[in-house]
Structure 1
Amino acid sequence: MDTVGKLEEEALKRKERLKHLKRKQETSNSESNQIAESIPKPVFRNYRPESEEIKENAIEEVSPIDLETEISSQLAMMKAPIVIEDIDIANLAPRKPDWDLKRDVSKKLEKLERRTQKAIAELIRDRLKAGQDDILQAVNVASASITSANNEDE
């Protein structure tokens, strides 16, 4: 029986809290309504230019289009045969998937190629100075490396 009494007491407390919250909400709503009423509402008007300069710069009215002539001209254009001979097939061919990579890397490869040629020339000079190989063999090695580099580029 005590549980029933406690439940009734809790229900009464909840009712009191709800009444209190409603009163609070009503007072806040009335305050916000008073604030909203004190703010002036904007009046929207259409703009009509009063000066001649503005009227002249305004958008000119578009003349009505003769619908039948427009449609007939469009249909005539559709009936005309399409000339395929003027189209260049080479421009329509898809590019290779790595074309942009080759384009971006080409400048760097040119620099590396120049550095490689300089390094080969220095190695040949060093060998000649050291006397390890004779001049003919050094020249043959350099010419072979240059031709192999050129073949790889192609």
Structure 2
Amino acid sequence: MIQGALFLLWLALLVAGDTPVGRRLRAALVEAPARWLNRWSRGDVLLILLLLAGAAAILWLMEAEGRLFLSMVAPDVLAGASMLELGTLLDAAVTATAVFTTLRIRGLRLWLTARFARRLPRSRRARPQRRCPANDDGDGPALTCAA
């Protein structure tokens, strides 16, 4: 039923083209939802996905009781989500986790190199060889510098 209505609206939008009715349909069916979706941040999308994953887990684990539980708790969750800007808080939590993880990995790498670098055998460095000057005009054998 709903798919048929959406198909008819889409067909009317396509047929109306650049007429006054077509412009109004485009404003109502395309531009208004696009403006509304453009206001969503990454945190809002992450919050919605997190809530959907939690609801799916509850439904999968609790089956019939999960449906009853979700029907009772859904209005409170939606009211709390609309009252607070939870998307921003979720963004801040994800950013903080990423920063602290990066710092811990860098600290772990430094600790490992400091801990195990002393145990590795050190390679001997070759002594730099003396080079003869290219304009050797001194007296004596020609190969005295090479020694």
Q: In which range does the TM-score fall when normalised by the shorter chain?
A: under 0.3
- Relative to the length of structure 2, the TM-score reads 0.24
Q: Which has the higher contact order (CA 8 A, sep 6+)?
A: 2
- Relative to the length of structure 1, the TM-score reads 0.23
